[in-house]
């Protein structure tokens, strides 16, 4: 055993680290995956790169994927090929005020923000010779003679500066970048052929021939790790640049260079990556490996002995204390299920058994063979971040006991899977109950007693999390889709994947902003500090949804204009028409006094100034009739944000009011 352990240790220590092919899709991004710089912002799945304004101005913004992507492997002296696809729209409220365009770029750093105008938000306007080796594909909408542009509607390849190596006029391809149409771009680079190709189309179908082809060795500009993203800029213009539906992948690094021991370890992939082989290492690589073996061999022997002793002692402790998989001190109530049990209960995790999907996993309905007991099984995605969120959820919810929290029944960590087993909620989530159409289920409109009960139950659960637990639990993702309904329509708060623990006597610390737009408190968007008051804001939005039957950000009836629910209710309240906010589908069948009380509680919780929000214990007392409602100002208070030249993802805020042409399906957000 010791000799085998030593062999694998030596193999692990001295086998060069293989380069990894990478593949990702923006549909699976969370807040922590992106960094936004300058004037860029997020708007319900799409990325805005420049200011939305009716007054001509200068603006620049960029968005960068935080994942460091390997473009060059020093061990094999191999460079990556890459392929990306994305859709974009360039719109303008004033067609006479055009320019300047957007880029897709590859940068050696994740803080690339350049100048406005023809520098396209990615290149530096001073001392161009010192610009970093940034590779950019520009979609240019202004003719800048100083940069040798030939038209105001072209695609170009830029390296380290805005002077294009090659450009193509899009007029002959019947593509107008300024048309406002949603345009899809495909960019492929083959390192083997030293060839870059670009396709453009108004549809999602890739054309047969590229509109841009150039033979160039981009690998000369590759560093070992680089970052990918988008940038855009304007100068004296109202042009607006939006990007969505982005996929990216690298390929070309060898997957069978070394022994079979390391096979399947070279790809981080969400999709299929082309297989390109590589036959041998260089002589210098072999010399370095031999030298490392001769110098570090004795050290490896010592490490092997220490590792052997550590493994032996650990196994002995596990046997004597009967520890199994995860820390037993965390899991005192729930039991461990076997993978075989849960696989059988979900019919091999059959697609037909899926009852929900989230950012970090998929939920299956599980019926246990023999007993017929039904559970909900949450299966973690394979990404490292998803697993860490799963462990966070497990460590927190396993210690919680409250009638309005989803009860954890068990877990499984076999066969490389992470599975959480919850009690099954037969009526699904609150959002499905609120927004289902009556013609789909006659007579099933969520009635007023059920809605009021949801508000009280959720307040009770949050009061428990914030003030009654040994450590405060900040949920960070309170929304209607995370509130489940049991057999009696009692609310159960679930999905603790983003939750954080905080000592009662300590101040919050800044973290990456997490949660769902529309439910996030303004101060959380500004400084990234999650507190019990940020949960209170989210609760207030949920309460208004329960009363009004409208989503946090919704379309105005018969209009493309988006409406913020908090703003809409507050406007009615300022006009003494608060009762008109009640869901029309209730047909007036509700307690008017209770409706007004609940609407005022929702507004007080959604107050932009966190110091004015009530605690959840106070809210519970108000809804239970044990305390009087707190005064709510007739006019919604204003919140002034600090100005900043650089916004990260945790500081996103959008101040747009209307959806730009060509992107009418995007929901926008306004926070006063």
pLDDT digits (tens, 9 = 90+) for 563-586: 899 999 999 999 999 999 999 989
pTM of the full structure: 0.48
- The DSSP code for 466 is I
From 106, 100, 72, 136, select the one nearest 236 (Cα to Cα): 100
Q: Per the structure block, which two tokens stand in for 471?
A: 């450590």
- Amino acid 433: pLDDT: 84
Cβ contact 548:586 at 8 Å: no
pLDDT at 14: 45
Q: Residue 325: what pLDDT?
A: 45
CATH 1.10.510.10 residue ranges of the chain are: 430-639
Distance, CA of 89 to CA of 659 (rounded, Å): 12
pLDDT given at position 648: 38
Query: How far is residue 427's CA from residue 245's CA, in Å, rounded to a whole number?
Result: 32
Stretch(es) of the chain classified as CATH 3.30.200.20: 335-423
Per-residue pLDDT of 31-71, as tens digits, reads 567 888 888 888 777 889 998 877 788 888 999 998 899 99
Domain with CATH 2.60.120.200 in the chain: 17-268
Sign of the dihedral defined by the CA atoms of residues 312, 316, 322, 323, in that order: negative
Rounded to whole angstroms, the Cα distance separating 496 from 514 reads 12
Helix (H) or strand (E) holding 7: helix 2-14
According to the CATH classification, is domain 335-423 in 3.40.309.10? no
Q: How far apart are the first and last CA of the chain?
A: 66
The rounded radius of gyration (Å) of the Cα atoms in the chain is 28
* pLDDT in the model for residue 292: 59
Kindly state the tokens that stand for 274.
Answer: 């082309």
Q: What is the pLDDT of residue 278?
A: 31
Q: Using alpha carbons only, what angle is made at residue 143 by residues 137 and 145, rounded to the nearest 5 degrees? A: 100
314 is in an annotated binding site: no
Which residues in the chain land under pLDDT 50?
Answer: 1-15, 127, 129, 256-284, 320-332, 442-443, 507, 509-510, 640-672
Active site residue 655: no
Res 146: pLDDT: 82
Closest CA to 9 of 300, 309, 310, 313: 300
- The neighbour count for residue 444, using CB atoms within 10 Å, is 11
| CATH code at 17-268 | 2.60.120.200
CATH class of 430-639: mainly alpha
Among candidate residues 73, 477, 486, 583, the one labeled active-site is: 477
Counting Cβ atoms within 10 Å, is residue 578 exposed (0-12), middle (13-18) or buried (19+)? buried
């Amino acid at each position: 055993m010791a000799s085998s352990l030593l062999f694998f240790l030596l193999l692990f220590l001295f086998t060069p680290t293989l380069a990894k092919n990478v593949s990702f899709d923006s549909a699976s991004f969370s807040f922590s995956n992106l960094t936004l710089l300058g004037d860029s912002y997020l708007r319900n799945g799409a990325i805005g790169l420049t200011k939305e304004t009716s007054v001509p101005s200068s603006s620049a913004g960029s968005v960068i994927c935080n994942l460091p992507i390997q473009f060059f492997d020093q061990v094999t002296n191999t460079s990556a090929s890459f392929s990306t696809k994305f859709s974009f729209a360039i719109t303008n409220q004033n067609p006479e005020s055009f320019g300047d365009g957007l880029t897709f770029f590859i940068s050696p750093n994740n803080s690339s923000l350049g100048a406005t105008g023809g520098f396209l938000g990615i290149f530096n306007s001073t001392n161009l010779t010192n610009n970093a080796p940034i590779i950019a594909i520009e979609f240019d909408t202004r003719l800048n003679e100083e940069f040798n542009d030939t038209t105001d509607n072209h695609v170009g390849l830029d390296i380290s500066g805005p002077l294009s190596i090659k450009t193509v006029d899009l007029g002959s391809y019947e593509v107008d970048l300024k048309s406002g149409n949603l345009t899809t771009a495909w960019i492929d680079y083959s390192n083997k052929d030293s060839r870059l190709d670009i396709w453009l189309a108004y549809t999602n179908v890739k054309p047969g021939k590229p509109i841009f082809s150039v033979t160039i060795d981009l690998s000369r500009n590759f560093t070992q790790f680089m970052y990918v993203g988008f940038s855009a800029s304007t100068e004296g213009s109202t042009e607006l640049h939006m990007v969505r539906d982005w996929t990216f992948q690298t390929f070309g690094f060898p997957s069978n260079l070394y022994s079979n021991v390391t096979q399947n370890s070279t790809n981080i992939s969400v999709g299929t990556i082309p297989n390109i082989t590589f036959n041998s290492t260089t002589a210098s690589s072999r010399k370095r490996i031999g030298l490392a073996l001769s110098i570090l061999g004795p050290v490896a022997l010592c490490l092997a002995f220490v590792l052997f002793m550590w493994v032996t002692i650990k196994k002995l402790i596990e046997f004597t204390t009967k520890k199994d998989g995860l820390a037993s001190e965390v899991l005192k109530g729930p039991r461990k299920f076997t993978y075989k049990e849960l696989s059988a209960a979900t019919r091999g995790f059959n697609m037909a058994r899926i009852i929900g999907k989230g950012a970090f996993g998929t939920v299956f309905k599980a019926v246990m063979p023999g007993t017929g007991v039904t559970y909900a099984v949450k299966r973690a995605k394979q990404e490292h971040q998803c697993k860490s969120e799963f462990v966070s959820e497990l460590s927190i919810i396993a210690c919680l006991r409250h009638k309005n929290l989803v009860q954890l029944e068990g877990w499984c960590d076999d066969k490389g899977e992470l599975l959480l087993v919850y009690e099954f909620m037969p009526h699904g989530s609150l959002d499905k109950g609120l927004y289902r159409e009556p013609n789909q289920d006659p007579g099933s409109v969520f009635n007023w007693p059920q809605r009021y009960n949801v508000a009280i139950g959720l307040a009770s659960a949050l009061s428990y999390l914030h003030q009654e637990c040994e450590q405060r639990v900040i949920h960070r993702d309170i929304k209607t889709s995370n509130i489940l309904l049991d057999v009696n329509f009692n609310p159960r708060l679930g999905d603790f994947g983003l939750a954080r623990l905080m000592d009662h006597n300590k101040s919050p610390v800044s973290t990456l902003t997490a949660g769902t737009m529309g439910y996030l408190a303004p101060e959380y968007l500004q400084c990234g500090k999650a507190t019990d008051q940020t949960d209170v804001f989210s609760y207030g939005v949920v309460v208004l949804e329960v009363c009004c039957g409208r989503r946090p950000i919704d379309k105005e009836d018969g209009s493309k204009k988006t409406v913020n629910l908090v703003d809409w209710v507050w406007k009615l309240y300022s006009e003494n028409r608060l009762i008109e906010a009640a869901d029309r589908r209730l047909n007036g069948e509700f307690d008017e006094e209770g409706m007004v009380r609940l609407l005022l509680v929702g507004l007080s919780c959604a107050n932009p100034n966190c110091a004015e929000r009530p605690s959840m214990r106070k809210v519970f007392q108000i809804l239970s009739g044990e305390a009087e409602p707190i005064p709510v100002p007739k006019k919604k208070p204003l919140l002034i944000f600090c100005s900043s030249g650089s916004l990260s993802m945790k500081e996103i805020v959008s101040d747009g009011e209307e959806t730009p042409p060509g992107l009418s399906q995007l929901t926008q957000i306004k926070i006063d």
